[in-house]
Structure 1
């Protein structure tokens, strides 16, 4: 077990009890089409990470929030609100120019956004 370790984020799965409407919303919100689209699961490749929609997971607001990177948090929040999202937390500056906020999609899932000018995948 000495070699066991968490390697990093791979997949985030959101509830999609109405898979068709949820898929339509995320297609608009992400600005991309899903790469995998079946009646039991829809998957989007978001910057090399999986954002999945599962119709068999009930919507339950949990204690964790997954933050997805954006270049301009204010611009992206405005666009997501226009698509029907609602505020979960307001924009907060958390230090060194990093800003975070969270929204609820129209289906009750909490989606975090982070504007981090220092982030690099290097």
Structure 2
């Protein structure tokens, strides 16, 4: 039934600031912005091995009940070096949500709250690396 991750949507009251923050983190510019000129209401990045979409939407368009309070699911992005990623996120102004924690051999997770109130998860996941290797083979 679920075939794969298509888009993760984050909300921000200042989309331009969020766009710039994520562009700095990801070391890539947003590839899509609407409107194209002026203050954006939506921006999108293509991220990682499968070019998953990370969208940032003006909080004015958030679904009813959206909150910056903790809760809900955490999407974890695969990273090559969790310690270096964790350090960079904190240096960029993210705040710890869940400290780096080994969940078992080959599985370590961490998460932060970005400066815009979204929870960003990062993870070392040997299953992800195995799937990636099998697709390249």
TM-score by length of structure 1 reads 0.90
Contact 2:12 2:117 in 1 (8 A): no
Structure 2 counterparts to residues 1-122 of structure 1, below 5 A: 5-38=1-34, 39-47=40-48, 48-55=51-58, 56-57=61-62, 59-60=67-68, 61-119=70-128, 120-121=131-132, 122=135
TM-score by length of structure 2 reads 0.80
Greater helix share, structure number: 2
User: Take 2:74 and 2:32, find their aligned partners in 1: how far apart are those partners?
Assistant: 24
User: Take 2:2 and 2:78, find their aligned partners in 1: how far apart are those partners?
Assistant: 20
Task: Return closer, same or farther for 1:35/1:59 CA change in 2, 3 Å cut-off.
Answer: farther
Contact 1:86 1:103 in 2 (8 A): yes
Structure 2, gaps ≥5 residues long: 35-39
User: Take 2:4 and 2:127, find their aligned partners in 1: how far apart are those partners?
Assistant: 18
Residue 59 of structure 1 and its aligned partner are, at CA, apart by 4.5
User: Which contiguous aligned blocks of 4+ residues in structure 1 show a shift greater than 6 angstroms?
Assistant: none
Structure 1, gaps ≥5 residues long: none
